[in-house]
Amino acid sequence: MFSLRIACFAVLAFNLIHATPADARPVSVAVVGDSLANDLANGMEDNFAGKPVRVIKLTQFATGLVRTDYFNWNGTVQNALRHGDANVVVIVLGGNDHQPIRVDGRRLDPLTKEWRAEYARRVGHFMDTIGKSRGKLYWVGLPDVRSDKLGLGYRAMNAIYKREAAKRKLRYVDIWGKFRSKDSAYSSFGMSLEGVKRQIRKDDGMHFTEDGRRVFADYVSRAIGLR
């Protein structure tokens, strides 16, 4: 796992270093996080193609703030952002965190009081870490998902992100329910940017399709003033 961390850091640092000054674009957006962040970054790349906005992906699939033994975001992102020139940093993280946390040999089950306290501590610590970068910071909450159980967890986790972000005067972007159909239930389908009904969420009930990620990116870009 150590070699994986080193390799990931190398990739993140490489991306940042190579994203910088030469082409001197006015906006450089670093999208940080897991596979949902990757969807957002891909959508931004599509939407901003040919425009003076550079998108830097700092994404690692199947990671989060719970399994720090597997991938430590604090150690990785701090070094990566220090070497880059991103003037906007957008974070989407937590999609894989609805699972037990192990602290000193104890198992804290998701959404218990102790779990929430420990998770809030980790989120706060990560926000402090990433807050040391030079860019404007935005934390994007988790989207609604097909699974009711997971959705319940995500709502509680979003409340934690929102609270911790407010404590640090960090802008929180709420996307919950923003890609739903009119009847307000979770739906895999919605309006594309071209204004036609398309499948916007993948069959896994969580991730975004090619059309969906553009809708996702458009919503977040507007929320953070990029469009």
Partner 1 sequence: MLFPTPEFASFFLVVFVTAWALRTQLEARKLFLLAASYFFYGYWDWRFMALLAGSSLFNWAAGLLIAGSSNETARYRLVALATAANIGLLGYFKYYNFFMDSLTDLTIALGIQRDMPFLEIILPIGISFFTFQGISYVVDVYRRQIKPVASPIDMALYISFFPQLVAGPIVRASHFLPQLDKTPMLTGTAVATGFLLILNGMLKKTVIAHYLAVDLIDPVFSNPSQATSTDLVAAHYAYVVQVYCDFSAYSDIAIGAAALLGYRFRKNFDRPFGTTSLQQLWQRWHISLSTWLRDYVYRPLRGDKRDAGWRMYRNVFLTMLIGGLWHGANWTFVIWGAIHGSALVIERTIKTRWHDWQMSRLRLAPAGAAVTTGRLTPTPLAAFAPAFIGWFITFHLFTLAAIFFRSPDLSTAAEYFRAMVTAGGGAELTTPFIAALTVASIGVHFMPGGGMERIAERIGGWSGPALGLLLGFGLLGIAVIGPEGVAPFIYFQF
* Cross-strand bridge partners of residue 91: 32, 139
Q: Per CB under 8 A, which of residues 119..178 are in contact with partner 1?
A: 146
Q: Which of 32, 33, 48, 60 binds partner 1 (CB under 8 A)?
A: 60
The verdict on 196 binding partner 1 (CB under 8 A) reads yes
Site stretch for partner 1 (CB under 8 A), options 84-92, 110-118, 172-180, 200-208: 200-208
Tokens of 178: 């923003």
The verdict on 38 binding partner 1 (CB under 8 A) reads yes
* Cross-strand bridge partners of residue 191: 197
The verdict on 1 binding partner 1 (CB under 8 A) reads yes
Nearer to partner 1, 35 or 47 (CB): 35
Q: Please provide the DSSP assignment of the chain as one string.
A: -HHHHHHHHHHHHHHHHHHSGGG--SEEEEEEESHHHHHHHHHHHHHTTTSSEEEEEEE-TT--SS-TTT--HHHHHHHHHHT---SEEEEE--TT--S-EEETTEEE-TTSHHHHHHHHHHHHHHHHHHTTSSSEEEEE-PPP-S-HHHHHHHHHHHHHHHHHHHHTT-EEE--TTTT--TT-S--SEEE-TTSSEEE-B-TTSSSB-HHHHHHHHHHHHHHTT--
Nearer to partner 1, 7 or 166 (CB): 7
Site stretch for partner 1 (CB under 8 A), options 84-92, 111-119, 122-130, 204-212: 204-212
Do 130 and 65 contact (CB within 8 A), yes or no?
A: no
Q: Which of 83, 203, 222, 225 binds partner 1 (CB under 8 A)?
A: 203
The verdict on 194 binding partner 1 (CB under 8 A) reads yes
The verdict on 62 binding partner 1 (CB under 8 A) reads yes
The verdict on 199 binding partner 1 (CB under 8 A) reads yes
Nearer to partner 1, 76 or 158 (CB): 76
Site stretch for partner 1 (CB under 8 A), options 82-90, 110-118, 124-132, 197-205: 197-205
Q: Per CB under 8 A, which of residues 63..82 are in contact with partner 1?
A: 70
User: Look-up: residue for tokens 């699939």?
Assistant: 61
Residues that bind partner 1 (CB under 8 A): 1, 3-4, 7-8, 10-11, 14-15, 35, 38, 45, 57, 59-62, 70, 146, 187-189, 194, 196-199, 202-203, 205, 209-210
